[in-house]
Structure 1
């Protein structure tokens, strides 16, 4: 009887939702679209985000920015490492999703997922070190200490890579939040499932709600209002094609957003050594003057 019951069992299909402000809303519009594998087979229905969803994500990211940017770099590193632990525990799920999304064998998908987890650990380790690399004491003429320290840019909209649905995703999201920014991620339109599942991992880690917000749908429809939004401070165009990137750059100029352009026309090689360029892409430099000698003893600063 147990065998018969097992054969007649209906599969429970997963309902994918957005990840905004630490919660899992459906798209405000109620729309969904079909996600297919590399062979055209149906995989799931993903939320088709609207402009309202994009605006809600900006509100959530801005609300979370103060607490996240104000946390110590060491604490941010601990939180990011906890995310890596959670990713490791759900590795099988991501292998399945990446294999279908990118048309990879199970063994190759496992390598990609492991590389993504390692990449997350890499950025977790950099949280309390990047300040020492890009900051420091500056030589000045006069009795002053002159110190430069990095500070996060603010709310960053990220157009995630279209082809590298997980390793590329991690490679563009982790450095943004490692340095104290908050992020709104526009997932790969054709392969959004790994990104939406990443939201589930973030929700069960120690990452505060709103630090990362994940939207799925049409990149042009979602990214345009983000690029023009006055409360978004920067945008990463990695996953935008040349035409869309140009449109977003023009929209971003309205409030002088910091813009990170795609590294190469043919796409970035996310298997290469990541270096530190993405860690410094969304950092500002604050310089403080402090008198030395008898003036310095009074604790005055400029």
Structure 2
């Protein structure tokens, strides 16, 4: 037996980074903070994102918006399904991360991961159907076609749930991008690791860079920058405590952002379509009808 056989091997600890613009940068400030398990055991250091990190993420999301919103709904559905496929392939890794973050048994954590995978599939199936539900032809008085169609709002800041580190995160993120928006996600403050790892899945799932940007850190430090940012079109306050939510809602009023207020969400319940329509705008088009040559066209 040689020295190699008896040597004690040191573990290789994972370095967690933000996910911005399809890349994995550290916080520009160089800061990190300690993340512990539900039992108080140190797990890793996570980036403590700054206000500049938030602004950089908004720039990346805005740059990606045209391409993502302009993709066909069918193509977006294919990409969301690909995310589910990739997450399925790393199921054991995520089950361990969720178990440590939330203090669950491996079996219960695996069930949470399975539900998160199924949720990606659910929203993948809705990408090319929500227009029929949220849009339609409107009866009007006069010789016109009047058609309403849903369009994405734009860049959406998402404050992820604080306690549900993966299923809750997917439940608030997937409907935002399914409908053509781009997202800047602020992870759970105390349980950020599954969300940061999700960035690795998104990076290998054909999701265009900048479509989803993931920042970890102190919610109260990052969120005000996003709420007041004039290039953010909407904000989901799910992960904000009540006092901070009121402050963010006031800041969001400066450019008339859409605001989704936090509620008592049951992430295991049927998600329905409420979150799909939360960040959609309605475009209504009037078109004259009548015989050709009389100022209109017939279909």
State the TM bucket, normalised to the shorter chain: over 0.9
Question: Given that residues 289 and 296 in structure 2 are in contact (C-alpha distance below 8 angstroms), is that contact kept between their aligned partners in structure 1?
Answer: no
Partners of 1:228 and 1:201 lie apart in 2 by 30
Tell me how far apart the structure 2 counterparts of residues 57 and 161 of structure 1 sit (CA, whole Å).
19
Take 1:140 and 1:284, find their aligned partners in 2: how far apart are those partners?
20
Pairing partner for 1:294 from 280, 291, 295: 291
Unaligned runs of 5+ residues in structure 1 are none
Aligned to 1:17: 17
Whole-angstrom CA distance in 2 between matches of 1:126 and 1:50: 35
Residue 274 (1) aligns with residue 271 (2): yes
Residue 90 of structure 2 corresponds to residue 93 of structure 1: no
Cα distance between partner residues in 2 of 1:3 and 1:167 = 46
Using the alignment, how far apart are the partners of 1:296 and 1:242 within structure 2?
Answer: 60
The CA deviation at 1:58 is: 0.3
Task: Tell me the number of residue pairs that the alignment of Structure 1 and Structure 2 aligns.
Answer: 298
Q: Which runs of no fewer than 5 residues in structure 2 stay unpaired?
A: none
Q: 1:78: how far off?
A: 0.5
Which residue of structure 1 aligns with residue 125 of structure 2?
A: 125
* CA 1:129–1:3: 2 relative to 1, 3 Å: farther
Corresponding residue number in structure 2 for 1:248: 248
Please give the alpha-carbon distance, in whole angstroms, between the structure 2 residues aligned to 1:300 and 1:30.
62
Please give the per-residue CA displacement for 1:55-78, whole angstroms capped at 9, x wherever unaligned. 000000000000000111111001
TM-score (norm. length: structure 2): 0.97
Q: For the residues of structure 1 that align with 2:105 and 2:16, how far apart are their CA atoms?
A: 24
Partner SS, residue 58 of structure 2: helix
| Distance of 1:75 and 1:130 partners within structure 2 | 14
Which position in structure 2 is the counterpart of 1:56?
Answer: 56
What is the CA deviation profile of residues 251-280 of structure 1, one whole-angstrom value per residue up to 9, with x for unaligned ones? 10111100000122xxx1100110000000
Mapped pair 1:146 → 2:146: yes
Kindly tell me: are residues 7 and 120 of structure 1, through their superposed partners in 2, closer, same or farther at Cα, counting changes over 3 Å? farther
| Residue 7 of structure 1: how far off its partner (Å) | 5.9
Q: Deviations over 1:149-204 (max 9, x none)?
A: 00000000000000000000000000000000000000000000000000000001
TM-score by length of 1: 0.96
For 1:280 and 1:157, the matched residues in 2 are separated by: 16
CA apart distance, 1:5:
3.5
Pairwise mapping of residues 210-249 of structure 1 onto structure 2 (< 5 A)?
210-249=210-249
Match of 2:205 in 1: 205
- After superposition, the CA RMSD in angstroms is 1.7
